[in-house]
Amino acid sequence: MPRSYLQEARKRVGPKKERIGPIIERLAAEHADAAIALRFRSPLELLVSVMLSAQTTDVNVNRVTQKLFEKYHKPEDYLAVPQEELERDIFATGFYRQKAKALRGTMRMLIEEYDGEVPRRLEELIRLPGVARKTANVVAAELGDPEGIVVDTHVRRLSQRLRLTRQEDPVKIERDLIKLVPRADWGRFPHLLIWHGRRICIARGPLCERCPLTDLCPASRV
């Protein structure tokens, strides 16, 4: 979009600090069912699911973990089989060799340093092999104590369209969002953007005529 148009659009919708509250409220009303799409029954299953979700879909991960979690119940189970067997069990998620190696390294550290339990603090989670900040943020948020804001492709795209950030790097985007979004909403905010991105603010063809944020969005086509 031309810079002049964006400048006028920003004036029309108002400052982002004033918009963030109504944005969250309207998205919460529009997507009351917004939640993580991964299926899990324990912190360990959550951690494994998020680790497997890299470079694939949540639907695919859920398909794989439906059988995986019948076979592997505790950290020791992931170390009790040859790595090649674990690779076969997670093959459909892609990058299975790297993921199997990371899973086994994580399970070993959980046993040796955390009594087999999944830590909840971000600084501890990012120490686990194969667990980057995004994964750690997801796990911490779902376990009830978010210490940051998850930035995936939907969160990145929508936060840019809404002009909540001008950054491209996920870490810098997260810093901008943390300054804007009330801490009480850190956990649900990514889910709201993700579901809005899937249902209405679609990448190639946003349904602006159906969007509840048209008067708050500089990129609105309405």
- Residues marked active site are found at 134, 152
User: For the chain, what is the largest distance between any 2 Cα atoms, rounded to a whole number of angstroms?
Assistant: 62
Cα–Cα distances in angstroms (integers) from residue 14 to residues 17, 158, 215, in the given order = 9, 17, 9
